[in-house]
């Protein structure tokens, strides 16, 4: 009976695409036709569900076409199709192992389409697709489901962050990793979390907890996946952000493309659409708030417990199945956690003892991990034997240059973080290698020398201390550092801001005709300063990411309670004796003066912006060739979040021909060089702007750059021309100039009769 009904409806089934378009235009007029197709779908589904493995090819094709048809028009008949989504879900979840590949893909596509039409919720779709992703043996289906799940999560968080859906999905992934720690299914949790972290969709601590549990798993692949996320997930996110910024198309480049070839309406429409898209992207970027992207290592809930578990479970455990390369990855993560959060894992340092030998494979990675695990709260007694062993194993006259360079660089990196780990006798011995003929050894030794000129000059001999360190020791400005001693908290670069404000005050006094060192009435200017800030802030509220001009900021001072009620000193010019006394102020007092800026004044956002600008200028000046002998400012050193790589330990050996390409060697040579773009000529800037807009060079420039041998024949023929030929060529050139070139100006004619 069912077969007779199917045969009667074959004619209706033949024109499904045409019927689909008609229903979308006028659903009420074609409801009976839709009922007929829906009835046919029900019949095919009953036959399939009764015997999924024995379904005929014709029946599967008909079922697939009907599912595609109904999914496209299901929103037009919600009452008739109310059970349709659940039927597809049951069919996919119960029989995905035996379904035909095309029918299986059609079911997944139909569910995604109904989610777009809001017939199905995101939670239902993800709860349907994710269990199949974890269990199916089909590689093509896994790839399809993974792509659909990521696409759905990105779409759900495109406009605003969907916290409810994110929490639900993160809980599912967390349970997947923790339910069976020996299973490799946790890899799917790692892949999804890492991709969403890279695209800045998941940036909260719960996503980091999923990866933390993955790193504590018992499956080797899951462990390595979780560890690699912490070591490289933030870098991937930065690289993707840079790629997105490079792909943006400028409006000027699109407009220039229109002027190159023949103009058509289609090209004009395409260009207009591209310009509109580019402007929308720029507008979206301006209106988008600045996201604070915290590193995954900072979002860990219990870094001490996590580092302890990682070390004792994967490194110290004799039953661990990890190979040396995998253990090295775990060691790098543990050492970064210890150095970044200043943790204490004392067995970690004794673990390094057996690996600190030049014959050890990947020894530079072990040295870099040891340096990363050092910080100023590690007892010097723990690090001193390790430094001594590195010196004995690596640094000697009989060692190869690469080996000695790696040892000296490793010792320097350890001592940067804990200067007290160095013995005075050993330091004087290592400093002697500054006279080595090997350039790498000489540079590494000089780096260690310059470090201790700054942090422990008293440990050096007098001839090695340098001028600044010797004068500071003689004046008593530098004191011996003690273990556990912390520097007084202060704002980095505050003295630069104080100096800048002092110079601005002197300029204003000179403009007003007052002495340069006259004091200002800051109490009267306090309200004007904040009012000016508020006015400029309101005017520029539509411009995101820009600071106001702070060239005329006025200092703001808060009056102390002790000074209230006292008469203010008159603003008279100082005598010569007072100026002499001011000039004889000691350097110590001058250094203390800038602290008043933070303790007696309120720093406005404009002050903080100027402070960041002055820091950047100081960092740039510290890298100039003329400043090599000076000590760089503390904020120009490596950031604590940046990892220490094996290449930095190897030094010049990492740039050998076998290990580095020509581009890498050129990039290393250009490090520290100043940007020459500001010194370019007007023509060079114009040329650079044209290249950015996609414009080509002129014919004159092409002719000038032409190969000499290609122009040789033309030059010879020019010399052989007669006077008549030269006259004819000049006359033709003159006529072409009148016409406006070979093609001539449109609408104008030049000739003897005009």
Secondary structure string (H, E, C) spanning 127-156: HHHHHHHHHCCCHHHHHHHHHHHHHHHHHH
Q: What is the predicted pLDDT for the residue at 516?
A: 61
Q: What is the predicted pLDDT for the residue at 211?
A: 93
Q: Is 398 helix (H, G, I), strand (E, B) or coil?
A: coil
Ranges of the chain whose pLDDT falls below 50: 1-12, 289-290, 524-525, 528, 532, 534-576, 579-581, 583-592, 625-637, 657, 748-754
Residue bearing tokens 């640094």: 395
Distance CA 172, CA 153 (A): 14
DSSP single-letter state for residue 573: P
Please, which residues have CB within 8 angstroms of residue 13's CB and are 6 or more apart in sequence?
37, 40, 62, 65, 66
DSSP single-letter state for residue 7: H
DSSP H or E run through 497: helix 494-512
User: Do residues 141 and 132 lie in contact, with contact meaning Cβ atoms separated by under 8 Å?
Assistant: yes
Residue count of the chain, please give it: 754
Distance CA 673, CA 474 (A): 35
Distance CA 242, CA 248 (A): 11
Burial of 351 (0-12, 13-18, 19+ CB in 10 A): middle
Distance CA 551, CA 539 (A): 17
Q: What is the predicted pLDDT for the residue at 746?
A: 52
Distance CA 658, CA 365 (A): 18
Q: What is the predicted pLDDT for the residue at 592?
A: 47
DSSP single-letter state for residue 17: H
User: Do residues 309 and 302 lie in contact, with contact meaning Cβ atoms separated by under 8 Å?
Assistant: no
Cα separations (Å) of 134 from 177, 213, 218, 222?
12, 18, 18, 14
Q: Which residue intervals of 540-680 are DSSP H helices?
A: 576-583, 587-593, 595-599, 605-622, 646-650, 662-670
Residue bearing tokens 């002027």: 259
Burial of 63 (0-12, 13-18, 19+ CB in 10 A): buried
Residue 335: Cβ within 10 Å count: 26
Distance CA 215, CA 339 (A): 19
Burial of 752 (0-12, 13-18, 19+ CB in 10 A): exposed
**How many CA atoms within 13 Å lie on the side-chain side of 238?**
9
Please, which residues have CB within 8 angstroms of residue 372's CB and are 6 or more apart in sequence?
332, 335, 336, 338, 339, 643, 644
Distance CA 144, CA 149 (A): 9
Q: What is the predicted pLDDT for the residue at 343?
A: 92
Distance CA 523, CA 528 (A): 10
The token duo for 517 is 């060192």
Our CA dihedral for 301, 302, 307, 310, rounded to 10 degrees, sits at -70
Terminal Cα-to-Cα distance of the chain (whole angstroms): 92
Task: Please state the pTM of the whole predicted model.
Answer: 0.68
For residue 147, report the phi and psi dihedrals to the nearest 5 degrees. Answer: -65, -40
Q: Angle at which helices 439-455 and 467-475 pack, to 10 degrees?
A: 20
The token duo for 513 is 């005709």
Distance CA 244, CA 224 (A): 28
User: Do residues 388 and 423 lie in contact, with contact meaning Cβ atoms separated by under 8 Å?
Assistant: yes
Listed residue (318, 426, 317, 418) closest to 375, CA to CA? 418
User: Do residues 457 and 469 lie in contact, with contact meaning Cβ atoms separated by under 8 Å?
Assistant: yes
**How many CA atoms within 13 Å lie on the side-chain side of 175?**
9
Residue bearing tokens 């919720």: 121
Q: What is the predicted pLDDT for the residue at 649?
A: 86
DSSP single-letter state for residue 315: I
DSSP single-letter state for residue 421: G
For residue 611, report the phi and psi dihedrals to the nearest 5 degrees. Answer: -60, -45
CA angle 584, 586, 591 (to 5 degrees): 135
Q: Dihedral sign, CA of 686, 689, 695, 696? A: positive
- Nearest-Å Rg of the Cα atoms of the chain is 37
Q: Angle at which helices 31-50 and 57-73 pack, to 10 degrees?
A: 140
Q: Angle at which helices 494-512 and 605-622 pack, to 10 degrees?
A: 110
Q: What is the largest CA-CA distance in the chain?
A: 120
Distance CA 286, CA 281 (A): 9
User: Do residues 96 and 104 lie in contact, with contact meaning Cβ atoms separated by under 8 Å?
Assistant: yes
Burial of 667 (0-12, 13-18, 19+ CB in 10 A): exposed
Distance CA 528, CA 76 (A): 64
Listed residue (189, 196, 235, 233) closest to 214, CA to CA? 189
């Amino acid at each position: 009976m069912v077969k007779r009904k199917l045969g009667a409806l074959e004619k209706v089934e033949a024109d499904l695409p045409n019927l689909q378009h008609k229903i979308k235009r006028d659903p009420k007029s074609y409801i009976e036709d839709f009922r007929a197709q829906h009835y046919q779908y029900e019949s095919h589904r009953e036959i399939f569900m009764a015997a999924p493995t024995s379904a005929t090819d014709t029946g599967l094709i008909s079922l697939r076409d009907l599912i595609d048809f109904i999914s496209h028009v299901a929103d037009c008949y919600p009452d008739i199709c109310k059970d349709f989504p659940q039927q597809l879900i049951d069919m996919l979840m119960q029989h995905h192992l035996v379904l035909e590949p095309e029918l299986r893909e059609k079911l997944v596509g139909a569910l995604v389409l109904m989610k777009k039409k809001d017939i199905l919720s995101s939670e239902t779709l993800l709860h349907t697709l994710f269990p199949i992703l974890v269990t199916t043996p089909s590689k093509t289906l896994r790839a399809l489901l993974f792509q659909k799940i990521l696409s759905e999560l990105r779409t759900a968080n495109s406009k605003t962050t969907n916290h409810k859906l994110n929490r639900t999905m993160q809980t599912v992934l967390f349970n997947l990793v923790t339910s069976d720690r020996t299973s490799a299914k946790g890899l799917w949790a790692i892949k999804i979390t890492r991709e969403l972290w890279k695209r800045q969709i998941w940036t909260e601590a719960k996503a980091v907890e999923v990866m933390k549990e993955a790193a504590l798993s018992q499956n080797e692949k899951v462990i390595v996946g979780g560890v690699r996320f912490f070591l490289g997930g933030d870098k991937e996110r930065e690289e993707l952000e840079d790629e997105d910024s490079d792909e943006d198309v400028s409006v000027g480049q699109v407009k220039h493309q229109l002027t190159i070839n023949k103009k058509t309406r289609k090209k004009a429409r395409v260009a207009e659409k591209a310009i509109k898209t580019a402007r929308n992207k720029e507008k979206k970027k301006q209106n988008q708030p600045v996201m604070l992207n915290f590193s995954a290592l900072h979002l860990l809930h219990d870094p001490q417990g996590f580092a302890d578990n990682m070390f004792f479970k994967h490194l110290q455990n004799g039953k661990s199945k990890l190979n040396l390369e995998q253990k090295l990855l775990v060691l790098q993560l543990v050492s970064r956690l210890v150095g970044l959060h200043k943790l204490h894992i004392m067995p970690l340092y004794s673990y390094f003892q057996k690996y600190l030998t030049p014959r050890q494979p990947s020894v530079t990675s072990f040295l870099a991990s040891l340096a990363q695990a050092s910080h100023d709260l590690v007892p010097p007694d723990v690090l001193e034997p390790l430094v001594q062993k590195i010196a004995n194993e690596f640094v000697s006259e009989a060692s190869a240059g690469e080996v000695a360079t790696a040892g000296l660089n490793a010792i320097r990196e350890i001592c940067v973080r804990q200067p007290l780990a160095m013995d005075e006798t050993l330091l004087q011995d290592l400093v002697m290698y500054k006279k080595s003929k090997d350039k790498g050894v000489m540079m590494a030794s000089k780096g260690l020398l310059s470090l201790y000129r700054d942090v422990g000059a008293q440990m050096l001999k007098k001839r090695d201390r340098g001028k600044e360190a010797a004068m500071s020791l003689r004046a008593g400005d530098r004191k011996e550092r003690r273990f556990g001693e912390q520097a007084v908290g202060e704002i980095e670069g505050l003295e630069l801001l104080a100096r800048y404000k002092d110079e601005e005050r002197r300029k204003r006094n000179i403009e007003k005709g007052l002495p340069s060192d006259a004091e200002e009435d800051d109490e009267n200017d306090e309200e004007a300063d904040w009012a000016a800030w508020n006015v400029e802030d309101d005017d520029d509220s539509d411009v995101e990411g820009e600071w106001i001009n702070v060239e005329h900021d006025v200092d703001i001072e808060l009056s102390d309670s002790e000074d209230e009620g006292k008469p203010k000193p008159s603003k008279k010019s100082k005598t010569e004796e007072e100026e002499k006394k001011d000039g004889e102020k000691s350097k110590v007092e001058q250094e203390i003066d800038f602290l008043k800026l933070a303790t007696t004044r309120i720093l406005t956002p404009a002050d903080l912006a100027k402070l960041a600008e002055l820091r950047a200028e100081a960092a740039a000046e510290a890298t100039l060739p003329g400043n090599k002998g000076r000590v760089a400012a503390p904020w120009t050193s490596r950031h604590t979040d940046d990892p220490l790589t094996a290449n930095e330990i190897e030094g010049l050996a990492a740039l050998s021909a076998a290990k580095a390409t020509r581009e890498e060697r050129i990039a290393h040579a250009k490090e520290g060089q100043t940007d020459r773009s500001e010194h370019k000529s007007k023509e060079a800037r114009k040329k650079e702007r044209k290249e950015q807009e996609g414009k080509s060079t002129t014919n004159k420039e092409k002719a000038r750059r032409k190969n000499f041998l290609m122009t040789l024949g033309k030059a010879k023929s020019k010399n052989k021309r007669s006077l008549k030929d030269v006259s004819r060529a000049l006359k033709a050139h003159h006529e072409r100039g009148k016409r406006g070139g070979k093609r001539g100006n449109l609408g104008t004619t030049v000739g003897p009769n005009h």
